[in-house]
Amino acid sequence: MKKNTDKEFKVGICGLGTVGEATLMLLTGENSNEIRHRIGASICVSHVATRTLKPELTKNVPCVGTDPFVVANDPMVDIVIETIGGYDPAFELIKQALANKKHVVTANKALIAERGNELFEMAEENNVVLAFESSVAGGIPIIKGLREGLAANKINWLAGIINGTGNFILTKMTEEQRQFDDVLKEAQALGYAEADPTFDVEGIDAAHKLTIMGSIAYGIPLQFNKTYTEGISKITPEDISYASELGYAIKHLGIANSSCSGLEMRVHPTLISKTQLLANVDGVENAILINGNAVGSTLYSGPGAGGDATASSVAADVIDIARYTLAGSSKPVYPSLGYQLRHKNIQVLEIDDVETEYYLRIPAMDEVGVMAKISSVLQAHGISIEAVIQKEPVSEVVPIIILTHLAKEKNMVLAMQAIENLEEVVGDINRIRVESF
């Protein structure tokens, strides 16, 4: 059957920052013929709205301006690409485009994670697509992997390095034994971290992405407020060194896990075995390990950010929408989050009810009987010890390193409070969770 190569889809891009510019170049540059042949139709960027006009980039775009709502309201536009970022005006822009029965492609992870439920309902009501592949892990097609490639699987768990800035910092700290603050300054100088790095280093960015993946994996509404979030700012070179001595690397992971007690959704620093594939993903790279009951474990790795990588995912969503339209369907055969939400009332566990193993670094006086007291406290809270390293004293203080067996978070918190109250313990305990995948 001959494809209709005369069909042309008109696309409007709102926001011409790093991702928007790269998307414009990808859709109009040397790849445009490749894209046309893959679809069987042409993609025409007919509109660009950008706060800062860039005539050298938009000279071949018919309609260029500063108001993104012009794009959302123009009846000639088939697909609106939102690369503005943030909540406002992006949220109202997407709502307006959907109300006008336009398909929308967005790279806005924060908006999807926190306000996506309303937007997906609106897309369904208007029989249009809200596509968001680029919102998670940049150029890695993880949304399609979860929603389509693993559609026949029950997802047991997933774990991912899903923030390149945090991974860069931990990699540098590991390789060069440098302090967090020092490496953060380097990351900012290189453009990997923002002037205000809170979203990256405190885990908020990763929590947005985990919220989206968890919703697809388990058929639940987006619930960002229930995703436990902890950053990497308290990790020290000493912790990295002690973890290595025990055979572990420290990575900042987003973890979703379906247990008999409920669903775990958590982002935090984690000790994982050096033999684990995730332990060897360094620098600004992202990687997600997914375990399905039929396929087993599969790893998805690649550039998690950057203009070109993210634009690749944006363009892929545009191509999908064009293909479905040409096939006679105004939207994909699957709902936006993979299937009809089937677990609207599933319990997302509080962190207190999550059970993991733990790494503890306890600063204690170099006195006889200290280890016995610490062991006694842990035992009283039902926590058993797997391994211990007792280092040489630093002045009168010796760091005691403990790996525990599985324990509930709430029991560990109580045990830590009791240990810190011991006269021989002279500072705060540094606690990092341990996972075996």
pLDDT tens for 252-299 read 999 999 988 889 999 999 999 999 999 999 999 999 999 999 999 999
SS3 302: strand
What does the block give as tokens for 399?
């760091």
**Where do runs of H (alpha helix) occur along 100-224?**
109-125, 142-144, 164-176, 180-189, 198-201, 204-218
**How does pLDDT run across 307-319, given as a tens digit for each residue?**
999 999 999 999 9
- DSSP 8-state class, residue 394: B
Closest CA to 287 of 206, 197, 174, 184: 206
Q: Is 421 exposed, middle or buried, given 0-12, 13-18 or 19+ CB atoms closer than 10 A?
A: exposed
pTM recorded for the entire structure: 0.94
What is the CATH number assigned to the segment(s) 8-139+307-326? Answer: 3.40.50.720
φ, ψ (nearest 5 deg) of residue 226: -105, 5
Q: What is the mean pLDDT of residues 40-48?
A: 96
Can you tell me the distance from the alpha carbon of 407 to that of 387, in angstroms, rounded to the nearest whole number?
15
User: Which segments of the chain belong to CATH 3.40.50.720?
Assistant: 8-139+307-326
Q: What is the mean pLDDT of the chain?
A: 93
Q: Given pLDDT bands bounded at 50, 70 and 90, which one contains residue 340?
A: low
Q: Nearest-5° angle of CA 46, CA 329, CA 147?
A: 95
Between CA 56 and CA 229 the distance in angstroms is: 42
Active site residues: 209
The SS3 of residue 288 is strand
Tens digit of each residue's pLDDT (9 = 90 or more) over 184-217: 999 999 989 889 999 999 999 999 999 999 999 9
Residues of the chain with CATH 3.30.360.10: 147-303
Phi, psi of 43 (to 5 degrees): -110, 120
Q: Report pLDDT digits (tens) over 102-119.
A: 999 999 999 999 999 999
Mean pLDDT of 113-126: 93
CATH topology of domain 147-303: Dihydrodipicolinate Reductase; domain 2 (3.30.360)
**Triad 257, 269, 275: Cα angle to 5°:** 80
Rounded to whole angstroms, what are the CA distances from 33 to 14, 72, 77, 289?
A: 23, 26, 21, 34
Mean pLDDT along residues 225-248: 96
Would you state the structure tokens that stand for residue 272, as one six-digit string? 């994982």
Please list, in sequence order, all residues whose beta carbon lies within 8 angstroms of the beta carbon of residue 218, skipping any fewer than 6 positions away: 155, 256, 258, 263, 343, 346
Residue 244 makes CB contacts below 8 A (sequence gap 6+) with 174, 274
On the 0-12 / 13-18 / 19+ scale of CB atoms within 10 A, 401 is: buried
Beta bridge partners of 407: 356
**Upstream peptide bond of 89 is cis (omega within 30 degrees of 0):** yes
Q: In 233-259, which positions are buried (b, 16+ CB within 10 angstroms) versus exposed (e)? A: bebebebbebbeebebbbbbbbbbbbe
Are 214 and 341 in contact, with CB atoms under 8 Å apart?
no
330 band by pLDDT with thresholds 50, 70 and 90: low
Which residues of the chain are in CATH 3.30.70.260 domains? 351-434
Q: How many residues can be counted in the chain?
A: 437
DSSP track, 316-352:
HHHHHHHHHHHTT-SS-SS-TTSS----TTPPBPPGG
* Residue 341: pLDDT band with limits 50, 70, 90: low
For 71-75, 130-134, 287-291, 336-340, which range has the lowest pLDDT when averaged over its residues? 336-340
Q: What pLDDT score was predicted for residue 343?
A: 55
pLDDT category at 154 given cuts 50, 70, 90 is very high
Architecture in CATH for domain 351-434: 2-Layer Sandwich (3.30)
Phi, psi dihedrals of residue 193, rounded to the nearest 5° = -120, 145
Residue 278 · residue 255 · CB < 8 Å: no
> Does pLDDT of 338 surpass 70?
no
